[in-house]
Amino acid sequence: MFCLITGGARSGKSRYAERLMVELVRGKREKGDGGGEVVYVATAQALDEEMADRIRRHRQRRPPDWETVESPMALFSTLRELAARKVPPAGVLVDCATLYWSNRLLAVAAPEESGSAQQLDSLARMELASLEADLEEEMRSFGEQLSRIPYHLIIVTNEVGWGVVPETPLGRAYRDLAGRCNQLLASLADQVILMVSGIPVCIKPETGYSAHK
């Protein structure tokens, strides 16, 4: 099963995703499906002390037997590589897609921008359009392989567009990119769960599997 978990900042997405993965893997093993352990795919990069502290807290909270694989720039290739292992994982949890979009965006966007309307030209409009096309192709290609993926997959993402309108062109470009990429991910997912103040609301399909604790 592929489950997408979305919501605003600090809505409980990561904690819920971890609980749901534990239940999904337990159910898989009770059915005798076996498989390896859970792999946590981290897209974050510790570029400052705040992010480094957040990464430390997430690691401390995860079960100690989960394997961590860092993939800040090649998420969907990593998911394919995990599926091709001799003993594939029982489950893979990606946290989070929006950091992956951000990493890819910053790799092609100007590192500094003043926030003026004209500054959007310095973000290489053509390169941004090419990036979005590349990400869409990555997701569509991965979607064609989903039926053959041998593990439960949970991807955490954020509803960036629910916040304050970004002041800078780069911020608005990121908001738009994340929103469109999230739409495509949701179209591929078997289940989409919206987190609201720590409460999971299944929005695709209208009823579905969820962790209860």
Binding residues for GTP, as ranges, are 7-14, 42-44, 59-62, 70, 95
Residues shown for the chain: 213
Query: Is residue 40 within a helix (H) or strand (E), and if so which, with residue range?
Result: strand 38-42
Is 58 marked active-site? yes
Give the Cα separation of 164 and 190 in Å (integer): 30
Give the Cα separation of 59 and 117 in Å (integer): 40
List of residues 6+ apart from 46 with CB closer than 8 A: 52, 55
15, 19, 54, 58: the active-site residue: 58
**Two tokens at 169?**
């062109």
Residue 126 burial (CB count, 10 A): 8
Q: Determine contact, residues 95/40, Cβ cutoff 8 Å.
A: yes
Give the Cα separation of 1 and 38 in Å (integer): 14
List of residues 6+ apart from 146 with CB closer than 8 A: 2, 153, 188
Q: Which amino acids are annotated catalytic?
A: 58
